[in-house]
């Protein structure tokens, strides 16, 4: 292991430091480079601030609808579950998704927190895997529709490299949806998921938790069989997922209108944001650092002018990523007293 100032540090810490440094470097580039933040500040006199407020509102709507989905799925198993508890699980999950590679830390942490709220690991795993399944299949269908609506763009205007990355991203989304369907009914895969959660440093401190979780695997699969027969709940959650995705995909359009440089098709910009998500999801760095900014720049350059595209990229990233981390950070800590706070939030 490498040493810094005589102290041994792990490769995970090194990766985190490199990732943070890389993200900060990209942020500084967009702030200090030509047509970046300085240009944005120079254009404030013609800037439509109300559209930035609307962009922030869309981001908050994404978080609110995600909390609603968590609430609906968990309340389907625990009728005394309260919405404030779902909000805490939602925000903590978004924080860990934002700071971990491939957003891999969000769902395991949400399962852990829901268990700490008294839901039970079987119920928590079942509810949150089902919620993620609805989200994953929803975004897959959304992306398929976006590709269908913009097939001319793919064939004639998109660079071959970005075209290939977009389709690979879509294929990964389909594979993830299939995997989640399998894990909902395959007992062995569910055990592997629990073993992965058990490797989290915070879970390792509670040695007796895994045997208790394993006892609820059967309940997990029983609940899955029940949920897929509950068409009313599935219909409601798919509708909310569609609204959630639309809300976050509207952020670039709001930023475009804020610059007051013309008009554009809102449907087209929503589709392009779906492409940005497909491409950036392929890269492992936390927050898809670098890939997110590059894909946004590539897809939206046709809407923004050369003088505004970097500023728009920076604003989009600030609203959809950095502001989310800022909002969610107070809910990310799991220290002394967290369990009692979470349980009190879950009590009726």
pLDDT tens for each residue of 7-22: 444 555 555 566 666 6
pLDDT tens for each residue of 198-213: 666 655 555 555 666 6
Whether the CB-CB separation of 97 and 109 falls below 8 Å is answered with: no
Q: Helices 106-116 and 187-198, interaxial angle, to 10°?
A: 90
CA proximity to 148, closest of 275, 303, 299: 275
H-only helix segments in the chain: 11-32, 37-42, 49-75, 83-99, 106-116, 121-149, 151-156, 160-183, 187-198, 201-204, 209-214, 217-227, 231-249, 251-259, 266-280, 291-300, 309-317, 323-328, 338-346
Mean pLDDT across the chain: 80
Q: Which residues pair with 8 in a beta bridge?
A: 3
pTM summary value:
0.80
pLDDT tens for each residue of 61-80: 999 999 999 999 999 888 89
Q: How confident is the model at residue 34 (pLDDT cuts 50, 70, 90)?
A: low
Lowest-pLDDT range, 9-23, 82-96, 121-135, 281-295? Answer: 9-23
Most confident of 148-162, 252-266, 278-292: 252-266
Instruction: Please state, in angstroms and as integers, the Cα–Cα distance from residue 56 to each residue in 2, 49, 95, 251, 295, following that order.
Output: 42, 11, 17, 8, 21
């Amino acid at each position: 292991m490498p040493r810094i100032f005589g102290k041994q540090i792990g490769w995970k810490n090194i990766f985190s430091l490199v990732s943070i440094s890389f993200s900060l470097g990209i942020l500084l580039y967009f702030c200090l480079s030509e047509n970046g933040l300085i240009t944005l500040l120079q254009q404030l006199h013609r800037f439509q601030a109300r559209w930035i407020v609307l962009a922030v509102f869309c981001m908050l709507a994404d978080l609110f609808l995600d909390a609603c989905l968590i609430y609906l799925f968990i309340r389907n198993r625990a009728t005394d579950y309260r919405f404030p508890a779902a909000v805490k699980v939602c925000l903590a999950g978004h924080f860990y998704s934002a700071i971990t590679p491939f957003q891999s830390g969000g769902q395991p942490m949400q399962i852990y927190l829901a268990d700490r709220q008294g839901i039970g690991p079987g119920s928590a795993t079942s509810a949150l895997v089902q919620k993620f399944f609805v989200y994953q299949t929803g975004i897959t269908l959304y992306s398929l529709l976006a590709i269908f609506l913009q097939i001319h763009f793919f064939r004639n205007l998109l660079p071959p490299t970005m075209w290939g990355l977009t389709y690979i991203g879509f294929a990964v989304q389909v594979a993830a949806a299939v995997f989640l369907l399998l894990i909902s009914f395959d007992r062995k895969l569910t055990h592997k998921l629990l073993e992965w959660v058990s490797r989290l440093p915070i879970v390792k401190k509670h040695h007796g938790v895994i045997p208790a979780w394993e006892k609820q695997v059967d309940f997990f699969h029983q609940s899955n069989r029940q949920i897929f027969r509950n068409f009313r709940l599935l219909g409601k959650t798919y509708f909310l997922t569609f609204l959630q995705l639309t809300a976050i995909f509207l952020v670039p359009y709001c930023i475009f209108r804020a610059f007051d440089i013309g008009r554009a098709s809102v449907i087209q910009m929503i589709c392009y944001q779906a492409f940005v998500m497909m491409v950036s999801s392929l890269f492992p760095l936390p927050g898809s650092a670098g890939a997110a900014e590059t894909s946004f720049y590539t897809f939206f350059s046709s809407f923004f002018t050369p003088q505004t595209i970097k500023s728009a990229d920076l604003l989009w990233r600030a609203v959809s990523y950095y502001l989310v981390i800022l909002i969610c950070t107070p809910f990310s800590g799991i220290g002394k007293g967290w369990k009692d706070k979470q349980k009190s939030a879950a009590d009726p």
